[in-house]
A and B are shown apart, each in its own frame.
Chain A
Amino acid sequence: MSVLPYLAAGWIFLIGVYGLVTSRNLIHAVGCLTVTQSSTYVLLVAIGYRRGGTAPVFSDLPPGARVVDPVVQALALTDIVVGATVTALLLALVVQLRKRHGTVDPDKLAELRG
């Protein structure tokens, strides 16, 4: 248990990259990119955990309580929202690419070679 979340984050990262490499549809590829992205959050939040600690929100907690690390939570929290908008930008590119190329299959895109 002492290393399971970290290995799970590594597994999610590699399976996401596998999806990217073997994708036949660019929307599926962007979906795999979001899976790869979520692996970074799993690792970040797992690093901040402290056994027996609770969330560092002191609205319903005495100030001296044993809490987990708030810094990684701050990093992950903003990244999730920002990651969604970056995914939106990539999906916008896919929409326009479909209009111009007539396909979203990376194998059939033949414009830039050599």
Chain B
Amino acid sequence: MNGWLLAAAVLLVAGLAPVLWTMAVGEPRTRLVAQNLSTVLACPVFLLAAQGFGRPSYTDLALVLAMLGPAGTLVYARFLGVLPRSRVVLGTAWTVVPATVLPLCVVAGPGRAMAKLLVIGVLVVAGNTVTSAGTDRHG
């Protein structure tokens, strides 16, 4: 019973399924927040899967998503004209991401793998801090 995959499954069911539900029924502003939240939650799932399957080369996926996720959110913000401030995304970014990256670093041990994990963690947190800070005046 691989604990990492179990954590990934929990993140999937508890995190991404509600995001899909809010995306389906919410109104524009909450849908943009839901889209932002989806990328924040997806990165840890990729990292957990990489560790769960025992394949460090899967972390490239999380690296690319860490970069393109916030970019995707900004694309929507540009066209909706507003970037809503959302504490949910900020809170998730600062809690879930470190909660997954740090144990993985401990397991990976010092070296190139840990450096990569830390870079991915920093990218996710920084990117989503920017997108969740929001712009108050109408874009």
Tell me the A residues contacting B by CB distance below 8 Å. Answer: 54-55, 57, 59-61
Contact = CB atoms under 8 A, between A and B. Distances in A.
Nearest to B57: A60
A59 B53 contact: no
Contacts of A59: 57
Complex A-B, nearest 4 residue pairs according to Cβ-Cβ distance, in ascending order? A60-B57, A60-B56, A57-B57, A59-B57
Contacts of A54: 53-55
Interface in B26-73: 53-58
Interface of B: 53-58
Contacts of B54: 54
11 contacts: A54-B54, A55-B55, A55-B57, A55-B58, A57-B55, A57-B57, A59-B57, A60-B55, A60-B56, A60-B57, A61-B55
Nearest to A61: B55
Does more than half of chain A's interface fall in helix, strand or loop, or is it mixed? mixed
Nearest to A57: B57
Contacts of A61: 55
A55 B53 CA distance: 10
A60 B56 CA distance: 7
Contacts of B55: 54-55, 57, 60-61
Contacts of B57: 55, 57, 59-60
A61 B58 CA distance: 12
Contacts of B58: 55
A74 to B, nearest CB: 17
Nearest to A59: B57
A3 B88 CA distance: 38
